[in-house]
A and B are shown apart, each in its own frame.
Chain A
Amino acid sequence: MQSQLPLFPEQASNFAPHVDALMGFIILVCLGFAVAVTIAIIVFLYMFRRKSPGAIGVAIHGDMRLESAWIGVPLILALAMFAWGAIVYVDFRRAPPDTLDIYVIGKQWMWKLQQPNGLKEINELHVPVGQNVRLIMSSEDVIHDFSVPAFRVKMDVMPGHYNTLWFRPTRPGKYHFYCSQYCGTNHAIMGGWVTVMEPDEYTAWLAGSGGAHVSPVVAGQTLFAEKACLTCHQSDGKGSAPSLNGVFGGQVRLASGAVVTADEGYIRESILNPNAKIVAGYQPLMPTFQGQLTEEQTLDLITYVRSLQGEPVPSSGAGVIQTAGKN
């Protein structure tokens, strides 16, 4: 399949045709300019070559019309490139609501990925074709970057917070993924393969590769008890901390008066740096769990909190603003 001199990567996601079309547009515009300037230079060099050793040229100092034209025309074309590029990027940065969420942890120099049912993969990612997939990514050490050229997507993987990356695979197959942000000694081999499967194959694969993996919800629930979170975060709202029922995805009012959406990043921050955002009506009592949880344990906890999304919200002591509609 791979020729000796490959010049164009495969197109295997919803973004690939858009990115390639942008590439085509910008190549055409730039080629137009480059060819025009090159031809002008070559023609001038020939036509106006020095005819005798002492000859001088004609004194032309400038032309306002020309100057305005070659400021105006490139400006318009540049703005067109900007606008089109921004449209693609906005789409890329805003994941649709119905995504298959996969947690990704980068560390020197491997990738750990976790399917929604808790199945863990190392340097391998299996996803179903045609399904919107969202990677929720963090790093245990330095900055990494998850990059899939065939999908035309990449996103930095930062220590300390979550970045998300979404795509919809459009063609079954095996595609390289790379670490694209230099991360130390074995940066170049910190990669692997994305396998895009038919949905039924994917379901079978998920079921078949069962083994003894623990659902992250169960793992998170266990941790929630072990770390004594439930002493304060009682589900009926009677503890000294807000109930977590229905919090995930909802709006939370803070002591500062601000309202934030409880996403993965918020839950994570509330675990590792609890005093950063205090829920209105509560005291900053919670200790930090910075350094006491691995990235995977943090993700398990978040998944558990997320599983409480549909639980009944108590009338008092709720973490979430109850009138706010859930999305």
Chain B
Amino acid sequence: MSKFNFPFIKETNELSNLRKEVRDFITTCINNNEFTPSPDAWVFSADPSFSKKLGSKGWLGMSFPKEYGGHQRTALERYVVTEELLSSGAPVAAHWIADRQSGSQILRYGNEKQKSSIIPRITAGECFFAIGMSEPDSGSDLASVKTKATKTKDSWKLEGRKIWSTGAHLAHYMIVLARTSPASEKNRHEGLSQFLVDLSLPNVKITGIPDMTGQRHFNETLFDNVELSDDSLLGEEGKGWKQVVGELALERSGPERFLSHFTLLDSFINEFRNSLIHSGSKIVGKLISEIQTLRRMSFSVASMLQNGESPETQAAFVKELGNKFEKMMIETLREFSNIVPLYEWPNQLQNLFEDATLRIPSNSLRGGTTEIMKGIIARQLGLR
């Protein structure tokens, strides 16, 4: 029988009300010209003042406990809020990583000081995070990281380089995966640890890397013998691999894996509604069926997270299918240009389309490549 189920979770009235509240707020922001909807906004569009505003609405750190300034709401409530933000192309990049994974990671593994000093600031939309996993020589092969943390008498010394650190130039902290003892011959996953690194510390050097769109969100982050306080270790020494795998489940299962370019689809349909009725209802139906299926799967994973399960594999399913859908969506719109030629599309829509076309190769790289997702699934099927 089927090995991976995604039980159907119904959206309750409370959730629908919350959805409406967020939607109204966003509409007001757009009407007041507080932001212009943009594609891939959770990566590219950072606006700390917007993040702070979300914080004051109570929509960041939603599931965090009240004692740390959180709202003790469910993962399903958080899901609804993130869907509304993503589908409207709101500028959420500044806080996205902190709210999605770093905060939960600190709550799960952090000590009291880490929790009480950082979580309330994440919840307020004032504290941003970058991811410290990839390195120049370690991409998909994450366990091969060379960044090293060495214990001294009362501190840690951090030495190494992280790369593709999205938003590090705006972030206050990075959760860094580093080697604290050599890999054992049998198990490369041993001897890794996670550190909570204040990016304002001396000897941290952050350099921007323009991506192929010409924009900056990538960085290289150099740790040149950075002295970390003794309590910078996040969680248990040597258990970094297990911790990072859990973090990736949070990173991979959300609706950003299929709603990154929803603003393009929305504008496209609004623009060409009449032509689509005559010659494109089939392609619209195909896109709707895929989005709704993905939403159900991703919502189901949110419910698993809420129940304290570890849906790492299910997250890989969502990411893999979501990435495929986004590529298919852009190809589908491209084919429509056979009916209305591209040069007749309104300028803004042409820009959105070209932008999406340009950015789409990254969707199946960031957060783990297609090959890694398929590898995870194959392992769970007993093939590896």
Does B bind A? Answer: no
